[in-house]
Amino acid sequence: MKKRLLALLLTACLVFTVVLSEYTTAYAEGSTAQKTVKVLFVGNSFTKRNRLHKIFKGIAKADGVKVKAKRLAFGGYKLRKFASSKTKAGKKLRKLLKKDWDYVVLQGYSSEFVKSYNKNTYKAVSKLIGMVRDSGAEPVLYMTWAKESGMKVDNRTMQVTMDKAEATELVSDIYYKVGNEFGIKVAPVGQNFLRCSEEYPEVNLITDDLKHPTFAGSYLAACTIYETIFNKSVLGNEYYSKSEKKVGIGKKKATKLQHIADVRMQIDKNYIYLEPGKSASIDAKIKVSAENDVYLDKYNGKDHIMYTSNDPSIATVDEYGTITGVSKGETYIRAQSDSGLSIVTTVEVKSRNTFELFVGSEDSVYGRDFINYTVSWPKQGNDTVSEVYRSILNKNHFVLIGRTSGDIYSDLNVLKGKKYIYKVVCYKKTDGVLKYSGESLTRTVHNEK
């Protein structure tokens, strides 16, 4: 596939104009009232080592930003430990989420998103994101790095051994897919670790155990998370020490890491729906400070971006980022630069044969805290089976709750007080095989307790 030349988007480290948040208001030039931004870090030893939250706070303070940072971290823990209401970690997290946080940074086990994503991690991540959003905070995913030795991954009938670069690409893709599905930010720490090891091999980011971060590694992670949350560069930040004793890192090394974190990739669409035969375009850009002479001297006008489809049988993409739907299914398009940055857009290809959905309600025998919903829809020709799905508003994940051969379904004894979203997907049997025939528009319902 041919590569396209990406026009660099040079900025002076201004926040994105499309993000009109409390943060940008509070820190506008000349503002005297500064809001304290509260950030909770949740994870394992990658978060605990070197007190990552303290480094983050130090960077913020040096940037003139008021930050309150706290961590909840246990060595070796996976996200499902925090998602469970029965574990010590889960109980502590639920207690902490009762406080007023602005952001909660979620960091999982190194191989958790790759090896057990479909089984356990998805459920845990979905639950954690829901908990964080219910508390009023914004979740952020902390993308981890690949081990120096790479990673072994089961690929259906065989085990594949990936080197560090291949494993980093796989981990990055999965983190961005999760971020796309749930609509949350991803801090590409793992990508920046790989880029740093290639640009500055003399900077040791990993300890002798070939796994955990050195102080420099944690510093790069904090810089990356800071840029992800606040959409502003750390380049020129003076959180460092000449003696490397007070802070743990000197100016020379800190500046190198800041140059790495300063280069970011953006894409204009994270999730696209397409019909077979229809097309849509995506556009990826590099965001870099005008003061980043290291990057500009090496890549200015020469950092190409290549678009590739993970499954061309579902959707294809050309060198300009034009995506064309081929057949029903879900895949993703990766935009990758010569400088080692990448980001993905999730593509779902399906028919636009939609129909209305109706939802009625009646009292539940379980009492006033519960309600029965009746979901109905017009029969679609010779449909063989219809699947009914339900989601909770802002959770971004539909769960199959039932199947029927008719055109009505009763969802009994549903807890009141939440906004529920329903949809129906229909299939008809053709030549002995069930084939997708259409789906309903979504319908949102809400009943107060």
For the chain, domain boundaries: 5-9+264-350, 36-262, 354-446
Classify 434 in phi/psi space as left (phi over 0), alpha (psi -120 to 50) or beta: beta
C-alpha dist (Å) from residue 400 to 358, 390, 404, 408, 433: 17, 7, 12, 15, 20
Helix (H, G, I), strand (E, B) or coil at 362: strand
Q: What's the burial of 103, exposed, middle or buried (CB within 10 Å: 0-12/13-18/19+)? A: buried
In the sheet with 67-73, reading across from the earlier edge strand, the strands are 67-73, 37-43, 103-106, 138-142, 185-187
Q: What's the burial of 224, exposed, middle or buried (CB within 10 Å: 0-12/13-18/19+)? A: buried
Specify whether the CB–CB gap between 56 and 225 falls below 8 A. Answer: yes
| pLDDT band at 202; cut points 50, 70, 90 | very high
Q: Is residue 217 predicted with pLDDT exceeding 80?
A: yes
115-125 pLDDT, tens digit per residue, is 655 566 778 88
Specify whether the CB–CB gap between 428 and 434 falls below 8 A. Answer: yes
The runs of H, that is alpha helices, within 264-387 are 293-299
- The amino acid present at 63, given as its one-letter code, is D
More confident residue, 180 or 308: 308
Name the CATH topology of 354-446: Immunoglobulin-like (2.60.40)
So what's the pLDDT on residue 243? 60
Q: Is residue 22 predicted with pLDDT exceeding 70?
A: no
| pLDDT band at 275; cut points 50, 70, 90 | confident
Q: Do domains 36-262 and 354-446 have the same CATH topology?
A: no
Secondary structure element (H or E) that encloses residue 165, with its range = helix 164-182
Mean pLDDT of the chain: 87
Name the CATH topology of 36-262: Rossmann fold (3.40.50)
More confident residue, 12 or 102: 102
So what's the pLDDT on residue 25? 35
In CATH, 5-9+264-350 is 1.10.645.10: no
Distance in angstroms (rounded) separating the CA atoms of residues 1 and 316: 11
Q: Which long-range contacts (CB under 8 A, 24 or more apart) does 239-244 make?
A: 239/55, 239/58, 239/59, 239/61, 239/62
pTM of the entire structure? 0.75
> Average pLDDT of 354-371?
91
394-431 pLDDT, tens digit per residue, is 666 788 999 999 999 999 999 998 889 999 988 887 76
CB atoms within 10 A of CB 416: 16
So what's the pLDDT on residue 16? 34
Distance in angstroms (rounded) separating the CA atoms of residues 332 and 178: 11
C-alpha dist (Å) from residue 255 to 59, 139, 220, 235, 437: 12, 28, 10, 7, 56
